[in-house]
Structure 1
Amino acid sequence: MVNHMNSTASQRQPFRPPAKTSRRVFLRLGSLAVAGAALSGCAPTLSLSPFSSEAATPEKVQLVYQDWSTEWFPPMVQQLLAEFHETHPHIHVFYTPDPENLQEKMLADLQAGAAPDVFEGCCDFFPIWAQQGYALDLRPFVEADLDQATISDWNPAQYRSFFTRDGRQYGLPKYHGALALYYNKDIFDEFGVEYPNATWTHDDYLVAMRQLTHDRDSDGQTDLWGSMVDITWDRLQIHVNGWGGHFVDPANPARCRMDEPEALAALEWLRARMHDDRVMATFLDVKNVPTRQAFITEKLAMVEDGSWALKDILANANFRLGVAPFPAGPARRVTLATTDGFGIYAGTRHPEAAWELVKFLISKEYGRAMARANFLQPARASLIEEWIGFIQAEFPQQTRDVDLAAFADGHLKGYSVTAEIFANQIEAQQIADAAWHQIFTLGQTPIDELAQVCRQIQAAQPETK
């Protein structure tokens, strides 16, 4: 979802376990009746799957499924799990919401042997769990049960992202978040700037940013910026890919390429837009509000954001909206495909039953339900037209003349990329985040510092055989 800050992941509501039964105890107990009763009695807002004496019968396999806690998600899950229980009477699934600080708490649960049987993951933290051996290898199940038509319906780049370098498959697609360029048509019209389109390059992008950056109240301070980008791993990486560079060597996950000319040129382009031209806002410029909120409140004429933001923007923006494919870089056109997926805990006692649940979660029915409930772009290409129809039906005026298909352009035309992952991603992420804060957010460090950052990242990687 997708790091998607402002992604779906960033908007998950905190999960506060009831006083008498901790979340970890609940997960350790799996789906025992006492845990279900305590949770449902002490914290009804969690919307856990209904527990009954029938569900506790010895013949039934009990599974715990952990997923998003955002407001719209639990009711949808409850309805769909009821359908799953009807067709799988020998399995009973208990849904539990993701905890606050998912990355840290989930890793602690995995290390403690207290993880849910089936879970969702994303971005840089899902492969970290797989690297540490906590995700079951799904290849035997996929080879036995999924046909080529199903696999071909998914974006190849997204599907490939769920494999470790040694060939283990740790996940399957949940939904397909994709990055595009949102723009405010009213602001473009106000300053006489042509709208973005599918032919735009980063040169066109820069020209427009300069034309759209203004001090609107004449107080000597900029209050409208041309655009903004989240300073996160995958959002920066796609610019590097557009310049023909990489963070990680595609042939060697222990080799850092962040210090190579193409990567440095792309990252310097971004730094210069923020701190030299000042046409691209930093988080300090917009007082640390999320990029999406800065766009909705008209501090930005454009914003680089994903399809996961559509419903929030359509519901809250008081201007005419436009969407265009992500601008091409000097070397190639790329866009981000998120790596939101489902996995099975390697320590589950019921791998076959967990696989039955995963098959249900990756079904067209489940993807269609997420597309309808919160406009999540389906992982399957065959559902894209339906997804667009759901959005247009709910927001007919706001989506008039909006190119919603721009989000699927990378999937359908084959230019999507996913987050590049080091063999030791957790340390690489920490090192890079600290440097990016100094370079991009604060503007206090030159881009050349990334040569030292790259050496530190590479030193943290395991030796390759």
Structure 2
Amino acid sequence: MNQKKIFILAAALFITACAGGVRKKGKPFVIMHPRNPALDRIFQKIGKEFQAAHPHLKVELQPAYATGFYSKILTAMAGGSAPDVFYMTGKAVTDFGQRGTLADLGPFIEKDNFPLGDIPPQALDEIGINSGNIFALPLTGGASALFYNKDLFERCGLAEPDNKWTWKEYLQAAKKLTIDEDKDGRPDVIGTSSDLTYWAGMLPWIWAAGGDLLSLDGNQCTVGSEQAAVAVQFHLDLINKHKVTVNESSLSTTGTSSELFSTGKVAMMVTLPWAIWEMASTGRKNKLNIALPPAGPQKRISRYTGEAVVIWAGSKYKEEAWDFLKRITSAAVGNELVKRYWQSTRLSVLQSSVFQNPDTEFREEILYKVLVNSRSLPDMRKLGGQDGIIRDIWNNEMTLCIKDGKSAAAALLEIQHKLNAELHNYKSK
């Protein structure tokens, strides 16, 4: 080969390399996506676009671990094999970030003037933005609302819920919607469900009654208040006195509350907006409608929860990973999420006609109203995390209330005592 040809070949290789056409050697760029068909399709689509924009990377999309996600991801990080980008619950972000396992996105956000103002304050609070560094970008999220089966309301001659509903109207409807068709003593349709044994599910009811789990500084448990007892007693009565909720022996068929709701066996439930996707996936979205949660003695309020995308601190491709985060959290993807019955974390999407006046038969715009009037769960790191110590303490005490007749007030005082002991131990470390 003469010198001229060698020069031309070398120049061509140089130009190709500058254009990103030569793959970097080493590990692939791994994107771990959630195990949900709708979200999986979006991640696959954006992953292909991202690969085309970064041909020097070998992009691999992997589904999230089916079980033990957080312990496995920490193990992978320790072993140097964690995914470059992954999806996680918002409340876990601060804990992972303070462990030094997530990349700080602050410099990227500042450099690109990323529009944090287009993200709801609740979503930013969920990822712990008030604690200092920013370790994630919110992707999906939403606040609890009242989901109900409009066919069952019509069948029972009930007007659909409106913004005047309180706990009183909610209870009255639950009684009428509990139907024993074959008169065998076990309802074939049950009025509603209860989150009594799940502390996070009960918090918006406690807030609505004027109570709270923790003090404003998070250093004291305050759940033993009279206001909190009002909320817990209301749910105890739904279960034991009025018998209008799902429990182990209430229905002639079995399944989780969510599964039973999606198949028309539970008439209504206050839950997070994932109910829309579940109803849509079973082909029953035409039976679904949405209303504001019933107002409690003090106010009407919802619980916000969300998920976010993060960059592993050990990634060699943080600049490229940041580009993926911008793509997957864009307003364009937000519009796709809405079409697939998921909720975006972009205000420009939530306030647009795509969301406010959706081409669906149910009132999806209600979800924006409950979002505005919602709170994120408190930071529970002092109590072992969101699924830590409180989960078992709460579940045990509420089970005693349901099965052994322990009073709501006594159970909450016991929870308060135990959690304050844990908070004291945390401060003593």
TM-score (norm 2): 0.82
The answer for the alignment partner of 1:197 in structure 2 is 162
- For structure 1, list consecutive stretches of 5 or more residues without a partner in the other structure: 1-53, 393-398
**What do residues 376-432 of structure 1 show as CA deviations (whole Å, max 9, x unaligned)?**
11111222345448963xxxxxx43x2121111123xx3121122223343673433
The answer for the alignment partner of 1:7 in structure 2 is none
CA distance in 1, matches of 2:133, 2:428: 17
Instruction: Give, in angstroms, the shift of residue 290 of structure 1.
Output: 2.1
Q: 92-101 vs 65-74, which deviates more?
A: 65-74
CA distance in 1, matches of 2:42, 2:136: 22
Max Rg structure: 2
CA distance in 2, matches of 1:415, 1:464: 36
Does the 8 Å CA contact 1:65/1:117 hold for their aligned counterparts?
yes
**Is residue 83 of structure 1 aligned with residue 49 of structure 2?**
yes
CA distance in 2, matches of 1:94, 1:304: 38
Does the 8 Å CA contact 1:55/1:92 hold for their aligned counterparts?
no
Identity level (%): 25
**What do residues 339-369 of structure 1 show as CA deviations (whole Å, max 9, x unaligned)?**
2111222333333332222122211222233
Does the 8 Å CA contact 2:149/2:267 hold for their aligned counterparts?
yes
The answer for the alignment partner of 1:249 in structure 2 is 215
1:119 pairs with 86, 109, 124, which one? 86
Could you say if the C-alpha distance between residues 136 and 242 of structure 1 is closer, same or farther in structure 2, counting changes exceeding 3 Å?
farther
SS at 1:195's partner residue?
coil
Could you say if the C-alpha distance between residues 349 and 451 of structure 1 is closer, same or farther in structure 2, counting changes exceeding 3 Å?
farther
Instruction: Give, in angstroms, the shift of residue 107 of structure 1.
Output: 3.7
Does the 8 Å CA contact 1:200/1:328 hold for their aligned counterparts?
yes
Instruction: Give, in angstroms, the shift of residue 106 of structure 1.
Output: 2.6
Could you say if the C-alpha distance between residues 191 and 375 of structure 1 is closer, same or farther in structure 2, counting changes exceeding 3 Å?
closer
The answer for the alignment partner of 2:295 in structure 1 is 328
SS at 2:96's partner residue?
helix
Pairing 1:275-294 to 2, within 5 Å after superposition:
275-282=240-247, 285-286=250-251, 289-294=255-260
CA distance in 2, matches of 1:204, 1:139: 47
The answer for the alignment partner of 1:419 in structure 2 is 377
Could you say if the C-alpha distance between residues 106 and 441 of structure 1 is closer, same or farther in structure 2, counting changes exceeding 3 Å?
farther
2:118 pairs with 125, 147, 153, which one? 153
SS at 1:176's partner residue?
strand
AA paired with 1:368? N
CA distance in 2, matches of 1:197, 1:233: 27
Instruction: Give, in angstroms, the shift of residue 323 of structure 1.
Output: 1.4
AA paired with 1:432? I
SS at 2:37's partner residue?
coil
**Is residue 453 of structure 1 aligned with residue 429 of structure 2?**
no
TM-score (norm 1): 0.76
CA distance in 1, matches of 2:415, 2:30: 40
Could you say if the C-alpha distance between residues 430 and 389 of structure 1 is closer, same or farther in structure 2, counting changes exceeding 3 Å?
closer
The answer for the alignment partner of 2:206 in structure 1 is 240
User: What is the count of residue pairs matched by the alignment?
Assistant: 399
The answer for the alignment partner of 1:370 in structure 2 is 337
AA paired with 2:47? L
SS at 1:340's partner residue?
strand
Could you say if the C-alpha distance between residues 133 and 60 of structure 1 is closer, same or farther in structure 2, counting changes exceeding 3 Å?
closer
The answer for the alignment partner of 1:12 in structure 2 is none
1:312 pairs with 267, 273, 278, which one? 278
The answer for the alignment partner of 1:303 in structure 2 is 269
CA distance in 1, matches of 2:285, 2:277: 13
**Is residue 207 of structure 1 aligned with residue 172 of structure 2?**
yes
Q: 318-327 vs 97-106, which deviates more?
A: 318-327
Could you say if the C-alpha distance between residues 342 and 283 of structure 1 is closer, same or farther in structure 2, counting changes exceeding 3 Å?
farther
CA distance in 1, matches of 2:31, 2:288: 37
Could you say if the C-alpha distance between residues 170 and 186 of structure 1 is closer, same or farther in structure 2, counting changes exceeding 3 Å?
same
Pairing 1:169-208 to 2, within 5 Å after superposition:
169-208=134-173
Q: 429-438 vs 304-313, which deviates more?
A: 429-438
SS at 2:348's partner residue?
helix
